[in-house]
C-alpha cells in the first residue's frame, strides 16, 4: 500500500505510542505498516480489520495527512 510521506516514520510511531484513543492508534498503525511496505491483506490481518477498510484509511491519510487521523 503506497503511503504519502506526510511525516517521518519515527514521528508516526511516536504519535501511535502517545495516542490515547484506540481507534486513532489503530489508524496510525495501518499507515505505519503500509509505509513499511506491508501489503493490504497483511496489514488487515495485523490490525484485525478488512483489507478494504485499511486501504480506505491509507487513501484518506494520503489525501488529508494528519487531518484524516
pTM listed for this prediction: 0.88
**What DSSP letter does each residue of the chain carry, written as one string?**
-----SS-HHHHHHHHHH---HHHHHHHHHHHHHHTT--HHHHHHHHTS-HHHHHHHHHHHHHHGGGG-
Q: What is the CA radius of gyration of the chain?
A: 11
Task: Give the tens place of pLDDT for each residue, 10-52.
Answer: 999 999 999 999 999 999 999 999 999 999 999 999 999 999 9
Domain locations in the chain as residue ranges? 9-68
Amino acid at each position: 500500500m503506497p503511503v504519502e510521506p506526510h511525516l517521518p516514520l519515527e514521528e508516526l510511531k511516536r504519535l501511535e505510542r502517545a495516542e490515547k484513543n484506540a481507534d486513532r492508534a489503530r489508524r496510525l498503525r495501518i499507515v505505519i505498516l503500509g509505509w513499511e511496505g506491508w501489503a493490504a491483506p497483511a496489514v488487515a490481518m495485523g490490525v484485525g480489520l478488512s483489507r478494504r477498510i485499511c486501504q480506505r484509511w491509507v487513501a484518506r491519510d494520503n489525501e488529508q495527512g494528519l487531518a484524516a487521523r
